[in-house]
Amino acid sequence: MSEPIVLGIESTCDETAAAVVQGRTLRSNVVASSMEEHARYGGVIPEIASRAHAEAFVPCVSKALADAGLELSDVDAIAVSAGPGLAGCLAVGVSGAKALAWASGKPLYGINHVIGHIAVTQLQFGPFPKDTLALIVSGGHTSLLHVGDVARHIDVVGTTLDDAAGECFDKVARLLGFPYPGGPHIDRHAQHGDPHAIRVPQGLTQGKAGAKHPYDFSFSGVKTAVARWVEGERAAGREIPVDDVCASLADSVATVLAKKAMRGCRQYDSDTLIVGGGFSANSQLRAKLLEFGRSNGVEVRIPELRLCTDNGAMVAMLGVNLVEAGVAPSAPDFAIDSAMPLTKVSM
Q: What is the pLDDT along the chain (347 residues), one digit of tens a residue?
A: 589 999 999 988 778 899 999 999 999 999 876 555 545 555 666 667 778 777 888 889 999 999 999 999 999 999 999 989 888 889 888 999 999 999 999 999 999 999 999 999 999 999 999 889 999 997 677 899 999 899 999 999 998 888 777 788 888 888 898 987 788 899 999 999 999 998 888 866 776 867 788 898 888 888 888 889 988 888 898 999 999 999 999 999 999 999 999 999 999 999 999 999 888 888 999 999 999 999 999 999 999 988 988 899 999 999 999 999 999 999 999 999 988 988 899 98
Residue 184: its pLDDT value, please? 87
User: Which has the closest alpha carbon to 44: 89, 76, 81?
Assistant: 89
Within a domain: residue 166? yes
Same domain, 312 and 285: no
**Segment holding 227, helix H or strand E:** helix 220-235
Same domain, 155 and 279: yes
Residue 41: its pLDDT value, please? 53
Same domain, 253 and 160: yes
Structural domain span for residue 135:
130-305
The size of the chain, in residues, is 347
Same domain, 149 and 55: no
Cα separation of 153 and 198, whole Å?
Answer: 42
Residue 258: its pLDDT value, please? 95
Burial 6-18 (b: 16+ CB within 10 A, else e): bbbbbbbbbbbbb
CATH of the domain at 83: 3.30.420.40
Same domain, 47 and 187: no
Residue 271 near residue 129, CB atoms below 8 Å:
yes
Residue 330 near residue 101, CB atoms below 8 Å:
no
Q: Is 43 marked as binding a ligand?
A: no
Within a domain: residue 204? yes
**Segment holding 312, helix H or strand E:** helix 312-324
Q: Is 61 marked as binding a ligand?
A: no
Total count of domains within the chain? 2
Q: Is 310 marked as binding a ligand?
A: yes
**Segment holding 108, helix H or strand E:** strand 108-112
Within a domain: residue 343? no
**Segment holding 25, helix H or strand E:** strand 25-33
- Find out whether the peptide bond into 181 is cis, omega within 30 degrees of 0: yes
Q: Is 42 marked as binding a ligand?
A: no
Q: Is 136 marked as binding a ligand?
A: yes
Residue 193 near residue 185, CB atoms below 8 Å:
no
Within a domain: residue 332? no
Question: Which burial class, exposed, middle or buried, applies to 294 when counting CB atoms under 10 A from its CB (0-12, 13-18, 19+)?
Answer: exposed
Cα separation of 136 and 121, whole Å?
Answer: 12
Within a domain: residue 11? yes
Cα separation of 287 and 79, whole Å?
Answer: 33
**Cα→Cα distances 74→28, 63, 65, 71, 168, Å:** 14, 15, 9, 5, 44
Cα separation of 275 and 144, whole Å?
Answer: 9
Q: Which amino acid is at 64?
A: A
Same domain, 107 and 140: no
Same domain, 183 and 84: no
Within a domain: residue 335? no
Residue 142: its pLDDT value, please? 86
**Segment holding 80, helix H or strand E:** strand 77-83
Cα separation of 256 and 29, whole Å?
Answer: 33
Same domain, 116 and 156: no
Q: Is 187 marked as binding a ligand?
A: yes
Within a domain: residue 258? yes
Same domain, 163 and 96: no
| Spatial CB neighbours of 46, under 8 Å, sequence gap ≥ 6 | 86, 87, 88, 89
Same domain, 93 and 172: no
Same domain, 113 and 141: no
- Find out whether the peptide bond into 241 is cis, omega within 30 degrees of 0: no
Strands 142-149 and 132-137 come out as antiparallel
Q: Is 33 marked as binding a ligand?
A: no
Q: Is 38 marked as binding a ligand?
A: no
Within a domain: residue 344? no
Residue 18 near residue 78, CB atoms below 8 Å:
no
Strands 299-301 and 272-276 come out as parallel
Same domain, 160 and 53: no
**DSSP 8-state code for residue 310:** S
Cα separation of 124 and 274, whole Å?
Answer: 11
Cα separation of 276 and 254, whole Å?
Answer: 14
User: Which has the closest alpha carbon to 46: 5, 12, 94, 83?
Assistant: 12
- Find out whether the peptide bond into 46 is cis, omega within 30 degrees of 0: no
